[in-house]
Amino acid sequence: MTIDRAVMLFAGFMVLLSLALGFYLSPYWYLLAAFVGVNLMQASMTGFCPAARVFKMLGVKSGCAFD
Protein backbone atom coordinates (compact mmCIF):
# COMPACT_ATOMS: atom_id res chain seq x y z
CA MET A 1 0.00 0.00 0.00
CA THR A 2 1.29 3.45 -0.86
CA ILE A 3 0.89 6.68 1.12
CA ASP A 4 -1.68 7.92 -1.42
CA ARG A 5 -3.93 4.93 -0.88
CA ALA A 6 -3.40 4.98 2.88
CA VAL A 7 -4.47 8.64 3.05
CA MET A 8 -7.62 7.95 1.03
CA LEU A 9 -8.44 4.91 3.18
CA PHE A 10 -7.90 6.87 6.39
CA ALA A 11 -9.98 9.84 5.18
CA GLY A 12 -12.83 7.58 4.13
CA PHE A 13 -12.75 5.77 7.46
CA MET A 14 -12.79 9.05 9.39
CA VAL A 15 -15.77 10.36 7.41
CA LEU A 16 -17.75 7.16 7.98
CA LEU A 17 -16.79 7.10 11.65
CA SER A 18 -17.86 10.71 12.14
CA LEU A 19 -21.18 10.06 10.41
CA ALA A 20 -21.86 7.06 12.68
CA LEU A 21 -20.86 8.98 15.81
CA GLY A 22 -22.96 11.94 14.71
CA PHE A 23 -25.99 9.74 14.17
CA TYR A 24 -25.69 7.75 17.40
CA LEU A 25 -24.06 10.15 19.87
CA SER A 26 -24.05 13.83 19.00
CA PRO A 27 -24.44 15.94 15.86
CA TYR A 28 -21.24 17.75 16.81
CA TRP A 29 -19.33 14.74 15.44
CA TYR A 30 -20.34 15.89 11.94
CA LEU A 31 -17.74 18.64 12.38
CA LEU A 32 -15.09 15.94 12.11
CA ALA A 33 -16.39 15.02 8.65
CA ALA A 34 -16.25 18.69 7.68
CA PHE A 35 -12.67 18.93 8.95
CA VAL A 36 -11.64 15.88 6.92
CA GLY A 37 -13.24 17.38 3.80
CA VAL A 38 -11.52 20.73 4.28
CA ASN A 39 -8.20 18.98 4.88
CA LEU A 40 -8.62 16.96 1.66
CA MET A 41 -9.28 20.14 -0.33
CA GLN A 42 -6.30 21.88 1.29
CA ALA A 43 -4.03 18.91 0.53
CA SER A 44 -5.12 18.82 -3.10
CA MET A 45 -4.25 22.50 -3.56
CA THR A 46 -1.03 22.73 -1.54
CA GLY A 47 0.36 19.19 -1.62
CA PHE A 48 0.78 19.25 2.18
CA CYS A 49 -1.05 16.52 4.08
CA PRO A 50 -0.42 15.87 7.79
CA ALA A 51 -1.68 12.29 7.48
CA ALA A 52 0.78 11.63 4.64
CA ARG A 53 3.64 12.77 6.85
CA VAL A 54 2.52 10.45 9.63
CA PHE A 55 2.24 7.51 7.24
CA LYS A 56 5.70 8.32 5.86
CA MET A 57 7.16 8.29 9.38
CA LEU A 58 5.48 4.90 9.92
CA GLY A 59 7.36 3.54 6.91
CA VAL A 60 4.62 3.37 4.29
CA LYS A 61 6.17 3.60 0.83
CA SER A 62 5.66 6.76 -1.20
CA GLY A 63 3.15 7.07 -3.98
CA CYS A 64 3.08 9.68 -6.71
CA ALA A 65 0.99 12.35 -4.93
CA PHE A 66 2.82 12.72 -1.60
CA ASP A 67 6.57 12.33 -2.21
> pLDDT tens digits, residue range 16-60?
999 999 999 999 999 999 999 999 999 999 989 999 999 999 999
From residue 63, alpha-carbon distances to 3, 20, 27, 50, 57 in Å are: 6, 30, 35, 15, 14
Decide if 22 is inside a domain.
yes
Decide if 67 is inside a domain.
no
Decide if 34 is inside a domain.
yes
Decide if 65 is inside a domain.
no
Domain count, the chain: 1
> Taking a C-beta distance cutoff of 8 angstroms, is the pair 26, 16 a contact?
no
Decide if 52 is inside a domain.
yes
Decide if 64 is inside a domain.
no
Domain hosting residue 46, numbered range: 3-57
From first CA to last CA, the distance across the chain in angstroms is: 14
Which pLDDT value is given to residue 43?
92
Decide if 32 is inside a domain.
yes
Decide if 62 is inside a domain.
no
Residue 66: pLDDT band with limits 50, 70, 90: low
Residue 65: pLDDT band with limits 50, 70, 90: confident
pTM: 0.86
Q: What is the DSSP string of 36-51?
A: HHHHHHHHHHH---HH
